[in-house]
Amino acid sequence: MNAGSGEPQHEPHGWPWRIGLLIGGAMFAFGLYGLLHNATQTIPADWAKWIAGALVLHDALLVPAVLLVGALVTRLAPSALRSGLQGTLAVCGVVALMSVPVVMAAGRRADNPSLLPHDYGQNLAIVLAVILAGGTVLTISRAARAGRRPRAPTPGRSNS
Amino acid sequence: MAGIASIPLLLLKLWTVYPLLFTWPPARNVTQLSERLFVAPLVALALFQLFSGLANTTRWYPWEFNFVVSHFWGGWMLIGVLFIHIGAKWQQSRRALRTPLKQPAVSEPVAAAGGLSRRGLLWTAGAAVGAVTLTTAGQTFRPLEDLASLAPRAPDIGPQGLPVNRTAGGAGVLQTARAPGWRLQVMGAVDRPLSLSLEDLRALPQHAAELPISCVEGWSASATWGGVRVRDLLERAGAAPGAEVVVRSLQTRGSFRSSELNTIFAQHDDTLLALDINGEPLHLDHGFPCRLIAPNRPGVMLTKWVMALEVRT
């Protein structure tokens, strides 16, 4: 990310690029061949739709939404609480996002009580509450510590 | 479990490189253009392999294609583009790792002003991985069982205290598995083909084995199984010592309606045709009248509702 001034721009080249292209290209081609060869099971048109959908959903919806929330926190929250709040919200977001399949429980079957046996909506609420509580404690204690510390050049940290 | 833990890491990684998506001009030469073109399948495949794997753990299949087959071939494609990406970034990463940092990676004043610092971001990722792991790992790691409130399975919930993946109803064997005329056939490359009723099997020497069902979907649970050693059946039928066995289920469809035992599995002390689980006859959903149980095999290869052992040499 740090493209330092005056340095030549980073570009792929040399033997790692060629070897990666050779080995990786072969594996990719093998996978693609397998996918197309088993078309009755893999239904490539449907599969490709889901693959492209994942990319679009992530790049055009999920990340912009996360950036928006992050920007709102940066604008609205007091600076001492900002990073703690962002971290707490990020963890909550990831847990909630990953719980969508269990909360929806679309795979539940009447004859298999061992699959998805819990009340996941309630459990998710509890887990999120615990994360929020923990995040709040951490955020406030950090802010309190920072507040006690002298503002200007932090002593004892600059040189060692 | 590793799959679940890697989802927050993938999201973090993609979030940090997202601004690069809008680099202008998109590429300065052909090499860079080709490298960037491989990023789209890399990101798309990584996202979808992880999402579909997560959905699979809850047996949620909102698509038309076969999950197992597509996930397998998609995996090859993903590893391929990952290799290409690593090759493309190899020299850049080496250079970056060799260069000493000009300033400490963490500077709290910056963090306080602009939000999460780099260290804060790593802590957040660690916390997210910890949270999703703690709330799911208990479905296979007993000490965390009580915390596994978001896991799709509990290791002790199910008929006879053991989870079930495919039920007898789902497998379409409700009638055939309970048919009074059920017999186990030991056939193929044998001197004396056998046809054994459940009573015949119970009359043979019984052995016990403490073995887990370890599902590829991430849960596992142990039980004490009782039944007949596959090795004893092969011997009784006069199969060659190096014989391999195909275990066939009553299931009439599905890609896991049979499984193969190589010589090592076939001859192992703990490879049983189980009739009992923790001292009780198998529940219909656990494979009544008898199921294969063996060490070191994924659950889908522990064939249930067995009707035949087909011997090959």
Question: What would the pLDDT profile of A96-112 be if each residue is shown by its tens digit?
Answer: 999 999 999 999 999 99
Confidence bin at B100 (pLDDT 50/70/90): confident
Give chain B positions within 8 Å (CB) of A106. 58, 60, 62
Contact in structure between B131 and A127 (CB atoms under 8 Å): yes
Model confidence at A156: pLDDT above 70: no
Average pLDDT over residues B165-193: 94
Give the one of A9, A21, A28 whose C-beta lies nearest to B87's C-beta: A21
**Among the listed ranges A5-19, A73-87, B291-305, which one has the minimum average pLDDT value?**
A5-19
Alpha helices, H only, A38-78: 39-42, 44-56, 63-76
Residue in A with minimal Cα distance to B60: A107
Average pLDDT over residues B116-128: 90
A132: distance to nearest CA of chain B, Å?
12
Please report the residues numbered 29 through 48 in chain B whose beta carbons come closer than 8 angstroms to any beta carbon of chain A.
29, 31-32, 35, 40-41, 43-45, 47-48
**Which pLDDT score, from 0 to 100, does residue B103 have?**
58
**Among the listed ranges A17-21, A130-134, A156-160, B243-247, which one has the minimum average pLDDT value?**
A156-160
Question: What would the pLDDT profile of A100-153 be if each residue is shown by its tens digit?
Answer: 999 999 999 999 999 999 999 999 999 999 999 999 999 999 888 888 766 544
Give the one of B18, B123, B170 whose C-beta lies nearest to A87's C-beta: B123
Does A21 sit within 8 Å of B131, measured CB to CB?
Answer: no
Question: What would the pLDDT profile of B41-98 be if each residue is shown by its tens digit?
Answer: 999 999 999 999 999 999 999 999 999 999 999 999 999 999 999 998 888 888 888 8
Residues 6+ apart with CB under 8 A from B62: A106, B55
Residue in B with minimal Cα distance to A56: B44
* d(C-alpha A30, C-alpha B195), whole Å: 44
Question: What would the pLDDT profile of A35-78 be if each residue is shown by its tens digit?
Answer: 999 999 999 999 999 999 999 999 999 999 999 998 999 899 99
Alpha helices, H only, chain B: 2-17, 30-37, 39-57, 67-98, 108-114, 118-134, 168-171, 198-203, 230-237, 263-267
Percent of residues, chain B, with pLDDT higher than 90:
71
The position carrying tokens 């009707």 is: B307
**Which pLDDT score, from 0 to 100, does residue B124 have?**
93
Give the one of B7, B65, B154 whose C-beta lies nearest to A47's C-beta: B65
A31: distance to nearest CA of chain B, Å?
5
Contact in structure between B246 and B219 (CB atoms under 8 Å): no
**Which pLDDT score, from 0 to 100, does residue B28 have?**
82
Percent of residues, chain B, with pLDDT higher than 70:
96
Residues 6+ apart with CB under 8 A from B257: B248, B249, B251, B303
B289 preceded by cis ω (within 30°)?
yes
Strands B306-312 and B184-188, sheet pairing: parallel
